[in-house]
Amino acid sequence: MSGQHLSWRMLLQRAQLRTQLALRGAAWPWLAALALWLLAALAWLALPLAQQQEARLAASLQRSTQALQAAPVAAPPSDDASRLAALHAVLDQGGGRAQSLARLFALAAEEGWDIAEADYRLSPQQDGGLERLQITLPLTGSYPDIRALAEALLRGMPNLSLDDLSFERDNAEAAQLAATLKLSLWSRPGQEAQP
């Protein structure tokens, strides 16, 4: 009887071992299905963020397209006196410096920026009798948002020029950039006192 008991015991151990091996071999499809399900859940959660970004970019593209279509294209002046008169007309459109700065901050607000810090430096230019207000804006944001701000400012202000735009990133994966936007606000001397 003990021999028969031993053989039954060995048969049960073999069956248990085969069951464990079969379960281990069958576990990978379940793990793969779980991984795919988790990836699908992450994609579903990220979809609204991607749709919001797409909507912002589409709105920015539409504004840019409308601004380009609405901007009249004039023939360039032929002589120096005409060019200088055209330049003065553009500078006079911008109004005084305070008005132009208010316009700059309003355009930035329309793009979703709250400019809390800026550096200003006024310098008269010897050639052409112009004054240049250099504006340095430190920014933090995504590249598309910073670029959209620069484009909106340049399109909305004919007396503004872009001097420099530099970017710095803490690491390659960072979504936010530290940027410095350097602009020049051009005016005629005596239009307004320094801001």
- List of domains in the chain: 81-187 (3.30.70.60)
Count other C-beta atoms under 10 Å from residue 84's C-beta.
13
pLDDT in tens, 114-156: 988 999 998 877 666 778 899 999 999 998 999 999 999 999 9
- The contacts of residue 83 (CB under 8 Å, 6+ apart) are 76, 77
Distance CA 169, CA 164 (A): 17
The model scores a pTM over 0.85: no
Q: 143-192, pLDDT tens digit by residue? A: 899 999 999 999 998 888 999 999 998 888 888 889 999 999 888 776 65
